[in-house]
Structure 1
């Protein structure tokens, strides 16, 4: 069996034996193939990843020599895993034969275990996953311009694992250890609100209520001063529960749904930037007029012109803002994460299970719900559901729960990268 380590300097083991894969070129060759395990990489792409602008004149011939040497290093047991096809070279190994694949699987399973109340198992899985990291992924390809996205994905997953590991430790009663780790974690990534939430919770459970509230004030000041935004719903709700001395904060049990089994959205104020909003009175009036007649209004313009800000200001300045939500998808990179973003915007932050199902139930139990505006800052690949001419699955599911809701999540169209605002008349 071949095992590939890419979370740090690249290493290859064959049947438990560390393989000498040679100098910089074969290492870069192998690193390039490991970025897309099981998929072919063309000669042109390999040439760019391995040599950049200094590629040799005969790239194909050079790659054949490098591949032959690597097969010899792998030995008879694994040489056939490095394959050459019509589309290029590929390393035919499953994700679980790499540390990056095992890391992702451990984090996913650990988060599932934590949601199911299996805190000890979650702690073990998340700690095992993080232990696989030996450094930055693929340091051999630091010069490659096409790699940052994959590195960013793994780094984000690692940040999540760090946070949820401490959540598992808090659930196991390891308060002191979690607080110590979280104090370091917030210093390393001060804008990740989940870390502050867990730190404050740990301090509160450790009998340090004043310091817990002080940390919540500190993160609010940081967000307001540096980004001009208020803390998210999770931090606001935690502070409120602390001030009310909610006994549920002292227990490690998972939050329970309401006795009747219903899921209810928590009214969330629309967060506005603290900077002044001037010069858009005409657009606000026009938006108000259009939304009295149309179900949907599109805000279209170049990136950075202020489409999202206009939608937020409209939501925040209306008298009936209870049933208005702004779902921010600017940092969401996967379609399956849209439902979680919608659930968070509705304040459904203490419910486990399928986020889409939670949102549907929350919408279904709100009598007289007036979904006048759902403002969504989206990207084509998130909202289109595979096609630009039909609404995404999340919109269809919400519409099934509330008949008056009509496709709140729809893609922008046109070359200018527009964002659309979904709306309904009262």
Structure 2
């Protein structure tokens, strides 16, 4: 914690005097009773003349802060029964400016003005320099305020990322969130924004890995699954439904979203190939594949169906090194893609592709 006046540091004195100023700062503009200040400054080790000692610290602080009041103006630190009050404008304290900028930025975001919202939130985050009030961690009320401000910073970061995604600034969002998500893996809103930014940057595999690691962390640390919102986002990622197209960072023309799911998500699928005693007809093959991979009951009572045909995006037939698309196997291919998506989501599957030799099982898988 520091105080500056006309670009010069104001000497605040020893640690207990600095703690006194911090106790008044976190209750800016409110009277803090003398008994509360003594209890929070000394707790069980209060001096015999606690009131006189407190008054001495108040006197030294008042002299140190007098230049900031200006000539002919009342003191910043005043006595007001039953205690003392610090009279500073909120814009003279960076922590309060920080809160005001965040409030304005979030209000602009709710009002569908992401450019202005991101500007205000960025300005708020630039005021952040290390953990607030870190030197007073042994004082419970100051430590609580430090934790509150840290939560506000994370909320501002999430709101700024949301505005950045609306503006199409996916690379910036990834750079802003990657290290923060590592430090705060339980912040599911932040994880969701990073997953979206990775997906739209063409890094779909990393987005899936991030979901898997977040889910594992929540299960191991807290015994809970991911939230419904994050699960919906994960499903949308698997189905290639995360926005489709995003606006350019400058409001320019739309640009295509990330590449097709079957070519990006590297999920190993085990295939068991068997030979029936007699050659099977194509209708029988389709039926056997559907019985092995079809809809199944899940714990919440709904059925897992197959994705729409539009969800299966095949590479063009003339792309170098890529086999031409299958003809007449749309249903079987959809079943396999659905099984792979469910496997990536943590629901294991064994996909059995059955048929006689030369029918194209390897090509299908």
TM-score scaled by structure 2? 0.62
1:176-325 matches, cutoff 5 A: 176-246=171-241, 248-252=243-247
Q: 1:128 aligns with which of 105, 111, 123?
A: 123
Q: 1:32 aligns with which of 6, 23, 27?
A: 23
**What is the RMSD of the two structures over their aligned residues, measured on CA atoms?**
2.6
1:5-44 matches, cutoff 5 A: 10-14=1-5, 17-44=8-35
CA gap 1:190/1:203 in 2 versus in 1, 3 angstroms? same
- For the 8 Å contact 2:10–2:64, the answer to whether it is kept is yes
- For the 8 Å contact 1:11–1:19, the answer to whether it is kept is yes
Q: Deviations over 1:18-69 (max 9, x none)?
A: 3222222321221111121111112222123323333221122222222222
1:156 deviates by 1.0
- Note if 1:80 corresponds to 2:71: no
SS in 1 for 2:47: coil
Q: Which residue of 2 aligns with 1:301?
A: none
- Note if 1:52 corresponds to 2:47: no
Q: Using the alignment, how far apart are the partners of 1:112 and 1:104 within structure 2? A: 12
- For the 8 Å contact 2:77–2:84, the answer to whether it is kept is yes
SS in 2 for 1:75: helix
Give unmatched runs, 5+ long, in structure 2. Answer: 249-298, 303-365
Q: Using the alignment, how far apart are the partners of 2:195 and 2:215 within structure 1? A: 13
1:82 deviates by 0.6
Bigger Rg over Cα: 2
CA gap 1:248/1:174 in 2 versus in 1, 3 angstroms? closer
- For the 8 Å contact 1:31–1:140, the answer to whether it is kept is no
TM-score scaled by structure 1? 0.53
1:199 deviates by 1.2
SS in 1 for 2:194: helix
1:131-170 matches, cutoff 5 A: 131-170=126-165
SS in 2 for 1:56: coil
Give unmatched runs, 5+ long, in structure 1. Answer: 1-9, 254-316, 321-426
Comparing 231-240 with 194-203, greater Cα deviation is found at: 231-240
CA gap 1:87/1:220 in 2 versus in 1, 3 angstroms? same
- Note if 1:70 corresponds to 2:61: yes
Q: Using the alignment, how far apart are the partners of 2:3 and 2:193 within structure 1? A: 37
- For the 8 Å contact 1:178–1:202, the answer to whether it is kept is yes
Q: Using the alignment, how far apart are the partners of 1:187 and 1:35 within structure 2? A: 30
Q: Which residue of 2 aligns with 1:97?
A: 92
Q: Using the alignment, how far apart are the partners of 1:21 and 1:181 within structure 2? A: 35
Q: Which residue of 1 aligns with 2:287?
A: none
Q: 2:52 aligns with which of 54, 58, 61?
A: 61
Q: Deviations over 1:239-297 (max 9, x none)?
A: 222233226353259xxxxxxxxxxxxxxxxxxxxxxxxxxxxxxxxxxxxxxxxxxxx
Q: Using the alignment, how far apart are the partners of 1:147 and 1:76 within structure 2? A: 26
Q: Using the alignment, how far apart are the partners of 1:218 and 1:54 within structure 2? A: 47
Q: 2:104 aligns with which of 86, 91, 109?
A: 109
Q: Using the alignment, how far apart are the partners of 1:22 and 1:150 within structure 2? A: 22
